[in-house]
């Protein structure tokens, strides 16, 4: 289940991609399949080891084209172990709402992104997230949980302040909002409640079968209750500095 829409976020074979806070690796795997040179980074060592196993399995199964590479590594989003301008593409999906210094994370992403490079940022959407917080303190008051709820204009402002130029946005995963509302209403750790179990089966069926009916329904509902807000931006090229002009008096006396 991808949150980034690669029809709006073009990825070319050979692009060097950083999936920052990769989690289970869903976007990193898609980039690898598309022929990118992928680095999946997360502070959770257990998840990184699983991502590395999946990368190896994908290579063994021939799922990635020739020239594609994939590396999984532990790291700190506020202190990325890469030189300036290392990546063509940076993805950070459902991560910034967890980090107190979100401006610091944006600054690090901008630092490692090449001029002309592209960045995709996804966060929980304000409206559906507010419902979850209202229904359950346990949903967000956990170690490493969500510490803020972004409004779209707030996130876009921070992206601009970091030196990036937004070029598009949309909402995603409308069918997942009711599931999390049910989870919050019946208890975030209570997977036995009948409504939660029934809705979970619906989501699994949708992910596995990809029926047209749910695809159309989600597209129609995304602007209303999409669970995630997705923003795309580019890092502008620095303006070229003009060559120094010789002093006219010096030229005349030459």
Say how many CA atoms lie within 13 Å of 92 toward its Cβ: 25
Residue ranges making up the domain that contains 103: 76-235
Per-residue model confidence (pLDDT) at position 237:
87
Summarised one tens digit per residue, pLDDT across range 14-54 is 999 999 999 999 999 999 999 999 999 999 999 999 999 99
Of the candidates 233, 242, 234, 249, the residue with the CA atom closest to the CA atom of residue 122: 233
Residue 222 confidence (pLDDT) above 60: yes
Domain annotation covers residue 212: yes
Domain annotation covers residue 191: yes
Summarised one tens digit per residue, pLDDT across range 58-78 is 999 999 999 999 999 999 999
Of the candidates 5, 42, 6, the residue with the CA atom closest to the CA atom of residue 24: 42
Rounded CA separation 197/190 (Å): 10
Domain annotation covers residue 159: yes
- How many structural domains are present in the chain? 1
Domain annotation covers residue 59: no
Domain annotation covers residue 246: no
Domain annotation covers residue 14: no
Per-residue model confidence (pLDDT) at position 199:
96
Give residues with Cβ within 8 angstroms of 166, minimum separation 6.
156, 159, 160, 231, 232, 233
Query: In the predicted model, what is the mean pLDDT of residues 213-224?
Result: 96
Coil, helix or strand for 203? helix
Extended beta strands in 1-76, E state: 16-20, 37-42, 69-74
Residue 246 confidence (pLDDT) above 50: no
Domain annotation covers residue 49: no
State percent of the chain over pLDDT 90: 89
Whether 149 and 130 have beta carbons less than 8 Å apart is answered as yes
Residue 231 confidence (pLDDT) above 90: yes
Domain annotation covers residue 48: no
Per-residue model confidence (pLDDT) at position 142:
85
Per-residue model confidence (pLDDT) at position 240:
60
Per-residue model confidence (pLDDT) at position 241:
53
Q: Which residue has tokens 């003009």?
A: 242
Per-residue model confidence (pLDDT) at position 74:
97
State percent of the chain over pLDDT 70: 94
Residue 218, domain CATH: 3.40.50.150
């Amino acid at each position: 289940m991808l949150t980034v829409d690669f029809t709006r976020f073009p990825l070319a074979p050979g692009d060097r991609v950083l999936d920052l806070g990769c989690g289970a690796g869903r976007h990193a795997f898609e980039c690898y399949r598309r022929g990118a040179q992928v680095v999946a980074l997360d502070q959770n060592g257990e998840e990184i080891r699983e991502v590395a196993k999946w990368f190896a399995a994908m290579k063994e199964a021939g799922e990635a084209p020739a020239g594609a590479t994939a590396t999984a590594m532990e790291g700190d989003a506020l202190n990325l172990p890469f030189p300036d301008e290392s990546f063509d593409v940076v993805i950070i999906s459902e991560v910034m709402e967890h980090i107190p210094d979100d401006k610091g994370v944006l600054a690090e992403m901008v630092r490692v992104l090449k001029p002309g490079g592209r960045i995709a940022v996804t966060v929980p959407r304000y409206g559906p997230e507010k419902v979850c917080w209202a229904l359950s303190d346990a949903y967000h008051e956990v170690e490493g949980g969500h510490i803020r709820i972004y409004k779209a204009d707030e996130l876009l402002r921070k992206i601009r302040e970091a030196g990036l130029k937004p070029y598009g946005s949309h909402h995603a995963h409308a069918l997942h909002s009711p599931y999390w509302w049910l989870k919050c209403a019946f208890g975030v750790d209570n997977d036995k409640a009948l409504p939660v179990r029934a809705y979970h089966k619906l989501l699994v069926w949708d992910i596995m079968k990809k029926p047209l009916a749910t695809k159309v329904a989600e597209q129609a509902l995304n602007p209303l209750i999409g669970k995630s807000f997705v923003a795309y931006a580019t890092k502008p090229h620095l303006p070229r500095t003009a060559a120094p002009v010789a002093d006219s008096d010096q030229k005349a006396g030459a």
